[in-house]
Structure 1
Amino acid sequence: MKRSLRTAVLTSGVLLLGAGIPAAPAASAVPAAEAAGAAQDARVDLRVLVVADGGPATAAIAAELAAAGTPYTLVDLGRADRPVIDGAFLADTVDGRPRARFQAVVLPDDEPFPAGSAEMAALVAYQKTYGVPQVDAYTYARPQNGLQYPVYGGYLGPVDGVRAEVTAAGKAGPFGYLDGAVPFEDNAPDVDESYAFLSKPVAGADFTPYVEAPIPGRADRGVLVGEYRHDGRRELVVTFAYNQHQQQFRLLARGIVDWMTGSVRLGSSRHHFAVHVDDVLAADDRWDPVLNCTPGDVDCAPGTGTPNPIRMTADDVAYAVDWSRRRGFTLDMAFNGGGSVEHREEHGGADPTADRLVADRTAFRWINHTYDHPYLGCEQDVSSVPWKCAVNADGTTKWVSRAELDHQIADNRRFAEQAGLPLREGELVTGEHSGLKLLPQQPEDNPHLAPSLTANGISWLGADNSRDPDQRRVGSALTVARHPVNIFYNAGRVAEQVDEYNWIYTSRAQGGSGLCETLPGTTCLDAPLDSATGYRDYIVPLETRTALGHVLSGDPKPHFVHQSNLAEDRIGYPVLDGVLDAYEGLFAADTPLVNLPMSAVGAELRDRAAWDAALAAGEVTAYRIGDTVTVRAPEGVPVAATMPAGTRTGTGGQGPAFGEPYAGTVSGRTAPGQDGALVLTLPDAPAPPAVDAPAAPAEGGPPPHTPVPAGVTRPVPFAAER
């Protein structure tokens, strides 16, 4: 339930030689025939050079590369001991063949070195010789990068809330995965979160706008992202400030990387969204707005209040089935069979909810959530609030027994078999993720958990991302961290959700608990939310934005809500609809949300970790010569790569097609051959674009300091990343 602000991530001043990017088309935009021939014959390593100045823009691009598993080398200009960027640093010879060590170059702006710098001259010569493109991560619009000074009919200033658009050229090129709109965030009215220079290309310049935005006070539009071809070089010019978390960058990040690499790169990314519904068939205790706790649960003192459980009805199930089919989205039902058995015992053998769920079982995926949903860590001493672990006479912790763990897993599995539920055998989510460590009360796993998981054939174990985010092994299982959606398990009605939210997130002076004043990373509301409008106008947009942020960052981890949120007022759906609607409005049909079962998410996290470890250890090499890409990786580590559509495996393209289509490319993970190598053959590439002579500079003076607004370099309220 903790809410923390999302912060701008800046480079840390450390020189890294690690994860990076693949090579762009080897011979694109080479100025002379002999240079073009040399580039075609050269080996181009699939790695990106990122030259950073400590600003958030280069840090954002580096973060995008790292998240996708694309190798890059980072040179921090602020370090006195950094390498000198010269010809020897950029290129050499391997086995008698010229080698370009980087397929693309990312700079903080169009010329971050002093005038007449030998390092900039080396970069320019390198780009011309090998056809290596350059990204200007955030630069002032000026004739040197193909744009007019913005003071001449353009604009420079904040662009919070602006709706930018991908141009026809952008859709036909690197940003074709977008539906068109690129909305800029405006999360805090009192903070400038983004800043841009909007202007037109210089007359006669070979400049192609890819993303534009309206110029305030004028009828025309200015460039935010575009390609400038000049002097035998290609630059992607970006004229707005951003950090790695902002939606506008997250929308454009894939296209920036695809442009610089020509969609020939190591690493891959997709947009994932899975939603687990916990406690299905059981009932959830209800928040009491008078007591400010939940009778029947551990946050109320024993004997306090009267429990008033929340449980889905048959009509709620029918709604869930219809919603899933309308949205084309499968929910994962984490169920407790004992809840249905208990309900039948108390209601003369009747359970219409379970009957309807069983009848419509194929509409959902099913996860074992234990039979009765007990706490499976230490034995809880609930005589006081907060609870603590019970101890033996010698002071050691009392643990829930192995027999109870086995019973909870196996009996729920038997319930599924008898009911005909298509249970995914190797998946398990324990109640409250119990059995796993839980700070502060239980700093270690229940020692009986690992052997029980192994004995019961569990391969994937749900964990809470807010407490246990990193995948780890527990017995036979690997953990799959899940993002909690901040819609409370003990709320079935809007009024209950808002009341509890106000209690947690308002100060004592405002009538709240004051928890927001003491919990690290938690922000207090300025005032309590309105009971009638607070959920719709504040909580839903915030939770939608948070979940969508996970999706846009390529995070495959599932989100979870509770069955109570699909009952009564059905308060979970507005957030789920908000994510799905926003996504559909932003992305083209060839870039769908990927809705994986828990086991597939776990495998993706496992394979990512193995790939990232191999990259960090320097155990992966990849390069391109002409239309052939060769990758070598350790045995057992599937190669992650993104390639142009039509790429095939094997020398000469004699093998099967590589990857699966996504976002206008093909991507995936493929095991290398017995010799540790994966060979890919690229499809015929289109002819490189023509390169015009340099354009004459427009009138105007030298560029001013390129500003970075406060919202990019420090936290912006209400853009939460739990």
Structure 2
Amino acid sequence: MKRNTHRSRHTCGLAVGTVLLAMGLPAAPAYSATPAPRIDLMVLVVSDGGPATGALTAELDGEGTPYTEIDLTESGRPVIDQAFLADTVNGVPRAKFQAVVLPNDNPFPAGSTEMAALAAYEKTYAIPQVDAYTYARPQVGLQPAATSGYSGSVDGLKAQVTAAGLGAGPFGYLNHSVPFENNSPAVSESYAFLSQPTAGADFTSYVEAPIPGRTGNGTLVGEYRHDGRRELVVTFAYNRYQEQFKLLARGIVDWMTQNVRLGASRNYFAVHVDDVFAGDDRWDTTLNCTPGDVDCPPGQGVEDSIRMTPADVANAVAWEKARGFTLDLAYNGGGSVEYRENHNGADQLADALTAARNDFRWVNHTYDHAYLGCEQNVAVVPWKCATNPDGSTKYVSQAEISQEISANDQWVRSIQLPVSSDELITGEHSGMRLLPQQPQDNPYLAPALTANKIGWLGADMSRDPEQRPVGGALTVARYPINIFYNAGHVAEQVDEYNWIYTSRAQGGSGLCDDLPNTTCLPAPLSTATGYSGHIVPLETQVALGHVLGNDPRPHFIHQSNLTEDRIGYPVLDGVLDQYRTLYAPSAPLVNLRMKDIGAELRDRDAWRAAVKSGQVTAYRIGDSVTVRAPAGVAVTATMPSGTRQVLDGGATAFGQAYAGSVSGWVSPQPGHDAVALTLAPAPARALAPHSRSASSAERATTPPAPRTPVPAGVARPVPYSAERR
């Protein structure tokens, strides 16, 4: 048995905060005895080791929702019986789980006592069940797909959320469309059973698609209500990485928890633009390197700087206003000072950016964009760390690092840009470990950050993904968008892309031959069509995948990508356009600055550590929910709209509205160890079926669900191919 957390009685020595919630439940519980039962806010996941239950546990992990996992493939696992599912605490009957996830509608042997125990438990306490991936068959309220529907590949399918799924349904945060991925013509990625409900079944379809070769639509996700029980029936295969799952995952969790749960999920998008006020060296399409940078041997080529213009600033401001989106500009003040020195004191770019100061957010990117790790020996390619006479690594000093930080901060304040002095992104994320040259942080970096009161330090997601302390700062990993800093024109971007991603046999560098997990292009891209036809859709889909994954980490490009051909915008537009096609206005993109992203990551880490160590308990009794967590750990929760936090002398709204519910972080009021929340009454929804279905005892004796097919693209993610979109 794998546990994301465990229920425990806290000793008197453990400092706890208590969250009390009074609420009207969205569904009327079947349990009618007195006293009202206690229902723990914990999900039971019964897994067969397949990708569907794996995807759901990944979603619960990402949201911070506690669960207990039982792996049916493990010997010696706990037996699921009445004692495992329920007991009594202080004279109050307790249901230990608020929802049950099964790999299919009945993964146990025929006549299983475990399935009978689950059915009785769900009926007694009104506990919803999710069938993670199952056949369409009468046991789940659907006609057999083999005789009246369709079973097979649904790669590229355009499914739709029904009217019942939208509005007050579990998928009301979506616009309507649920596209299924089709990344490779050579790999089967998704498999589904499409059929309609059986006659007389109390079945509501939430997501459906046309049945190939037949008239009408078939169900992919729907709710089957029978004998006082509710099942969410999912009839398509998926893994945690696929877009169709990411779109529907929130709704599945909302449905199973009835929008009363620990944890939260939102869609985030932030974009940093590095090197503002400075210039970026240009790629040389003949030399296949960047004169002036470390990839070109000294003396080769002619340096050519790419730098924004006032017209680019006006375009960026207009773009932000049209898109309702704010860019974060990472600035190097030394770039402007140097430019003025070489242009009789004039810098029209700096003047334009200063005039538009309030249209952007600003982040310290160091004064001169100096490399702050080891001192670089650039006489060789690739460069190496310089060494001291004793052979030890020679590092940039603490004084130099501190000067780069403080000089930039002083300069930007002299022109009155609105900055937050505790945010920093070093040039090339330097100072932090970089393999293979520098396997550890510059030891002078941490004390320099502390001395300059830096609280948040940008890091490269590909090198340093997990948040960690560096001196007094916490890192904020950033996703690089694969649009190059040294390209201002489309032709330069495509030429460098071809050099990196084509094999030696195709005339490329061969880096893709040598690097693990890197796929070479079958042939060089066309400079005329390769950018719009391959690079833009590929980078759009990669970034959108991060956005749909409840991941607040920012993305970054460079100022060179906002000038000349302005090659950065097509990718940003692609993400925003696709998002608005997929999501309803109730689920807007959350666009945070770096320090707020860092705080979100910090709070999530503390919450998850408390959950996994069993220091969080939560339960509902009637109209109240109680959550206990260690002192100093904020509680994250998702609750129905209208929830209010009761404070001394009044009340205030809890959380923020998002995707049809409210969610946020809550801590005890100072001087209190409890926080009380009151929810607006919600209309009760009867669980009695409209027609007679098999009883729980009858269903428990039916044959288990057949093993559903799992295509290769579900068992193993299929690399995205732009040509297939």
Judge same fold: TM > 0.5, yes or no.
Answer: yes
- Alpha-carbon distance change, 222 to 553 in structure 1, aligned in 2, over 3 angstroms: same
Aligned to 2:5: 18
**Partner of residue 682 from structure 2, selected from 682, 685, 689:** 685
Do 1:27 and 1:40's aligned partners in 2 also have CA atoms closer than 8 Å? no
RCO comparison, higher one (Cα < 8 Å, 6+): 2
For the pair 1:112 / 2:107, whether they are aligned, the reply is yes
Q: Per-residue CA shift, 1:618-646, capped at 9, x if unaligned?
A: 11111111111111111111100000001
**Partner of residue 657 from structure 1, selected from 653, 657, 662:** 653
Deviation at 1:19, TM superposition (A): 8.5
Q: Percent identity?
A: 68
Deviation at 1:459, TM superposition (A): 0.7
Do 1:29 and 1:691's aligned partners in 2 also have CA atoms closer than 8 Å? no
Corresponding letter in the other structure for 1:539: I
- Alpha-carbon distance change, 152 to 695 in structure 1, aligned in 2, over 3 angstroms: farther
**Partner of residue 342 from structure 2, selected from 342, 346, 358:** 346
Corresponding letter in the other structure for 2:50: G
**Partner of residue 156 from structure 1, selected from 147, 151, 159:** 151
**Partner of residue 405 from structure 1, selected from 401, 409, 417:** 401
**Partner of residue 606 from structure 2, selected from 610, 620, 638:** 610
Deviation at 1:650, TM superposition (A): 4.2
SS class of match (1:169): coil
Deviation at 1:180, TM superposition (A): 0.8
Aligned to 2:12: none
Q: TM-score under structure 2 normalisation? A: 0.93
- Alpha-carbon distance change, 19 to 374 in structure 1, aligned in 2, over 3 angstroms: farther
Aligned to 2:15: none
| Counterpart-to-counterpart distance in 1, 2:651 and 2:631 | 20
Aligned to 1:643: 639
| Counterpart-to-counterpart distance in 1, 2:586 and 2:425 | 33
| Counterpart-to-counterpart distance in 2, 1:568 and 1:186 | 34
Q: Which moved more, 1:346-355 or 1:261-270?
A: 346-355
SS class of match (1:213): strand
Aligned to 2:201: 205
Do 1:546 and 1:719's aligned partners in 2 also have CA atoms closer than 8 Å? no
Please give the residue correspondences for 1:598-637 in structure 2 after superposition, counting only pairs within 5 Å.
598-637=594-633
- Alpha-carbon distance change, 596 to 45 in structure 1, aligned in 2, over 3 angstroms: same
**Partner of residue 485 from structure 1, selected from 481, 484, 495:** 481
Aligned to 2:16: none
Aligned to 1:467: 463
Do 2:134 and 2:705's aligned partners in 1 also have CA atoms closer than 8 Å? no
SS class of match (1:548): helix
| Counterpart-to-counterpart distance in 1, 2:685 and 2:309 | 61
Deviation at 1:187, TM superposition (A): 1.2
Q: Which moved more, 1:609-618 or 1:415-424?
A: 415-424
Corresponding letter in the other structure for 1:346: N
Corresponding letter in the other structure for 1:691: P
| Counterpart-to-counterpart distance in 1, 2:720 and 2:245 | 18
Q: Which moved more, 1:420-429 or 1:106-115?
A: 420-429
Deviation at 1:529, TM superposition (A): 1.2
Aligned to 2:536: 540
Please give the residue correspondences for 1:494-573 in structure 2 after superposition, counting only pairs within 5 Å.
494-573=490-569
Q: Per-residue CA shift, 1:283-324, capped at 9, x if unaligned?
A: 111111111111110011111111111111111111111101
| Counterpart-to-counterpart distance in 1, 2:578 and 2:606 | 32
| Counterpart-to-counterpart distance in 2, 1:16 and 1:182 | 32
| Counterpart-to-counterpart distance in 2, 1:117 and 1:655 | 50
For the pair 1:240 / 2:236, whether they are aligned, the reply is yes
Corresponding letter in the other structure for 1:505: Y
Q: Per-residue CA shift, 1:81-120, capped at 9, x if unaligned?
A: 2111111110111111000000000000000001100100
Aligned to 1:122: 117
| Counterpart-to-counterpart distance in 2, 1:693 and 1:80 | 40
| Counterpart-to-counterpart distance in 1, 2:28 and 2:652 | 31
- Alpha-carbon distance change, 702 to 666 in structure 1, aligned in 2, over 3 angstroms: closer
Aligned to 2:133: 138
Q: TM-score under structure 1 normalisation? A: 0.94
- Alpha-carbon distance change, 654 to 131 in structure 1, aligned in 2, over 3 angstroms: farther
| Counterpart-to-counterpart distance in 1, 2:24 and 2:257 | 7
| Counterpart-to-counterpart distance in 2, 1:621 and 1:695 | 36
Aligned to 1:3: none
Deviation at 1:40, TM superposition (A): 7.5
Corresponding pairs, count: 699
Aligned to 1:292: 288
Deviation at 1:617, TM superposition (A): 1.1
Q: Per-residue CA shift, 1:562-586, capped at 9, x if unaligned?
A: 0011111111000000000011111
Do 2:40 and 2:95's aligned partners in 1 also have CA atoms closer than 8 Å? yes
SS class of match (1:109): coil
SS class of match (1:330): coil
| Counterpart-to-counterpart distance in 2, 1:77 and 1:610 | 30
Do 1:127 and 1:233's aligned partners in 2 also have CA atoms closer than 8 Å? yes
Do 1:471 and 1:480's aligned partners in 2 also have CA atoms closer than 8 Å? yes
Aligned to 1:273: 269
Do 2:272 and 2:329's aligned partners in 1 also have CA atoms closer than 8 Å? yes
Corresponding letter in the other structure for 1:612: R
Aligned to 1:5: none
Aligned to 2:365: 369
Deviation at 1:37, TM superposition (A): 1.0
Do 2:35 and 2:92's aligned partners in 1 also have CA atoms closer than 8 Å? no
| Counterpart-to-counterpart distance in 1, 2:281 and 2:612 | 47
For the pair 1:283 / 2:287, whether they are aligned, the reply is no
Deviation at 1:675, TM superposition (A): 5.5
Deviation at 1:423, TM superposition (A): 1.3
Corresponding letter in the other structure for 2:720: F
| Counterpart-to-counterpart distance in 2, 1:201 and 1:19 | 38
Q: Per-residue CA shift, 1:39-95, capped at 9, x if unaligned?
A: 980000000000000110000000000000000001000000211111111011111
- Alpha-carbon distance change, 443 to 124 in structure 1, aligned in 2, over 3 angstroms: same
Aligned to 1:87: 82
Corresponding letter in the other structure for 2:575: V
- Alpha-carbon distance change, 719 to 52 in structure 1, aligned in 2, over 3 angstroms: farther
- Alpha-carbon distance change, 323 to 19 in structure 1, aligned in 2, over 3 angstroms: farther
SS class of match (1:603): helix
- Alpha-carbon distance change, 601 to 365 in structure 1, aligned in 2, over 3 angstroms: same
| Counterpart-to-counterpart distance in 1, 2:393 and 2:578 | 48
| Counterpart-to-counterpart distance in 2, 1:627 and 1:719 | 50
Corresponding letter in the other structure for 2:683: P
Do 1:628 and 1:682's aligned partners in 2 also have CA atoms closer than 8 Å? no
Aligned to 2:716: 714
SS class of match (1:36): coil
**Unaligned ranges ≥5, structure 2:** 8-18
| Counterpart-to-counterpart distance in 2, 1:499 and 1:109 | 49
- Alpha-carbon distance change, 516 to 398 in structure 1, aligned in 2, over 3 angstroms: same
Do 1:632 and 1:672's aligned partners in 2 also have CA atoms closer than 8 Å? no
SS class of match (2:220): strand
For the pair 1:378 / 2:364, whether they are aligned, the reply is no
SS class of match (1:326): helix
Do 1:645 and 1:665's aligned partners in 2 also have CA atoms closer than 8 Å? yes
Aligned to 1:101: 96
**Unaligned ranges ≥5, structure 1:** 1-13
Do 1:287 and 1:293's aligned partners in 2 also have CA atoms closer than 8 Å? yes
Aligned to 1:74: 69
SS class of match (2:280): coil
Do 2:107 and 2:705's aligned partners in 1 also have CA atoms closer than 8 Å? no
Deviation at 1:682, TM superposition (A): 3.0
Do 1:472 and 1:478's aligned partners in 2 also have CA atoms closer than 8 Å? yes
| Counterpart-to-counterpart distance in 1, 2:667 and 2:446 | 30
SS class of match (2:630): coil
| Counterpart-to-counterpart distance in 2, 1:552 and 1:667 | 17
| Counterpart-to-counterpart distance in 2, 1:651 and 1:598 | 31
Do 2:277 and 2:335's aligned partners in 1 also have CA atoms closer than 8 Å? yes
- Alpha-carbon distance change, 447 to 719 in structure 1, aligned in 2, over 3 angstroms: farther
For the pair 1:390 / 2:377, whether they are aligned, the reply is no
